[in-house]
Chains A and B, each alone.
Chain A
Amino acid sequence: MASIIKVDEIKSQANGSAISIASGGAVTVNNGIADAGTISAGTLGSSVVVPASIGGGEVLLDTHTANNDTATLEVDLTQYTTFETYRIRFVNWVPATRDKDFRMQVGTASNSMHTSYRTSTHRGNFNGSTSGDGNSSSTSYLLFAFGAGTTVPPTVYEGMCLESFIYEPRDSTKRTRSLAQINLFDVSSYTRIYNTAGISLAQQDDAYWHFTWESGGNTLTGKFYLYGIKNA
């Protein structure tokens, strides 16, 4: 026969509150767990803090799946915990119309995007038989990608995968900087590699980011991930 004990609180011999039990059964351990042994099942809630030193150095803040209904992806960092460094990832991010540049700007508000940057890109391309490389630059975007060619627009491409770090965007005394690697792929089996580094010329709290395709076209498909990186 099962035994049942009904209590609201369990205390130590020295009268310290150890465990509180809410009416619904939720347990609060009031002074920590000295040794949990092995936790063999269950799920950590989203508000659990994992120390950076044991693998919690990077936190997935949000994701978005594109489905051809928006022209701009906007990030409002004020709704998340502030981090020094952010990492962003685009997977198979494809414009609704082919042959479009990809761009990122940052600013202090959604309607106040900064427009002066110094961004340098080294690029290469290969389609199985033909290869090429070169350098490009932009004064208008913190991060950008376009097809092979010269300093202005591209030949045909279809989409991209991107990994990028954004450094200290929320520090109003610093210029926001970016470092990115981009794989742009197209219908002709070209792959294009972009190594790009950029800075915003303004020292401001760049809490708002805009990602767009050239000429305001929609994003057909793709997945976006935003991570915050802790200082260990």
Chain B
Amino acid sequence: MGSKMPRYKHILGKGNVQFTPEEEAEYDAQAIADQKIRDEYAKVKYKDDRKMAYPEIGDQLDDLFKQGAFSEEMTAKLQQVKTDHPKPN
């Protein structure tokens, strides 16, 4: 395996400068921390995905009001969202 490619920064008006070993270590540590956050988020991401995909709350309430319970059509839409965005095991 080859060694890791060095990182560079661009200082506006001055040009590109290679990272110092300290900067490389700092960015590596940050990348590990970022990945931990991402891993945690992956466990609950389905909630956000479902939230964005569900029909508008107003439409749901309207359906509920008119039918006394969710209509078959609305129930199918809600179920489809859950199916499309399953909770991770």
Q: Could you tell me which A residues sit within 8 Å of B by CB distance? A: 62, 64, 66, 69-76, 79-80, 101, 110-111, 125, 130-132, 148-150, 152-153, 155, 214-216, 218, 224, 226
Name the prevailing secondary structure of the B interface residues. Answer: helix
Query: Are A72 and B10 in contact (CB-based, < 8 A)?
Result: yes
Q: Could you list some 8 contacts between A and B, CB below 8 A?
A: A64-B10, A69-B8, A70-B7, A70-B9, A111-B23, A132-B51, A150-B47, A216-B27
Query: Are B9 and A153 in contact (CB-based, < 8 A)?
Result: no
Query: Are B12 and A64 in contact (CB-based, < 8 A)?
Result: yes
User: B residues within 8 A CB of A150?
Assistant: 41, 44, 47-48
User: B residues within 8 A CB of A155?
Assistant: 45, 49
Query: Are B41 and A152 in contact (CB-based, < 8 A)?
Result: yes
Cα–Cα, bound, A71→B35 (Å): 17
**Cβ-neighbour of A152 out of B19, B30, B40, B53 (below 8 A):** B40
User: Would you give the shortest CB distance from A103 to chain B, in whole angstroms?
Assistant: 10
Q: Could you tell me which B residues sit within 8 Å of A by CB distance? A: 7-14, 16, 19-20, 22-23, 27-28, 30-31, 34-35, 37-38, 40-41, 44-45, 47-49, 51-53
Cα–Cα, bound, A130→B41 (Å): 21
Query: Are B31 and A71 in contact (CB-based, < 8 A)?
Result: no
Cα–Cα, bound, A155→B8 (Å): 27
Cα–Cα, bound, A131→B52 (Å): 7
Cα–Cα, bound, A101→B34 (Å): 10
5 closest cross-chain pairs (CB), A and B = A216-B27, A72-B9, A215-B31, A149-B48, A70-B10
User: A residues within 8 A CB of B40?
Assistant: 152
B27: nearest residue on chain A (CB-CB)?
A: A216
Cα–Cα, bound, A125→B37 (Å): 22
Cα–Cα, bound, A147→B71 (Å): 33
**Cβ-neighbour of B37 out of A73, A79, A111, A152 (below 8 A):** A152
User: B residues within 8 A CB of A149?
Assistant: 41, 45, 48
Query: Are A76 and B14 in contact (CB-based, < 8 A)?
Result: yes
Cα–Cα, bound, A80→B13 (Å): 10
Cα–Cα, bound, A27→B1 (Å): 65
Query: Are B9 and A226 in contact (CB-based, < 8 A)?
Result: no
User: B residues within 8 A CB of A69?
Assistant: 8, 10, 16
Query: Are A71 and B12 in contact (CB-based, < 8 A)?
Result: no
A73: nearest residue on chain B (CB-CB)?
A: B10
**Cβ-neighbour of B19 out of A71, A76, A148, A214 (below 8 A):** A71
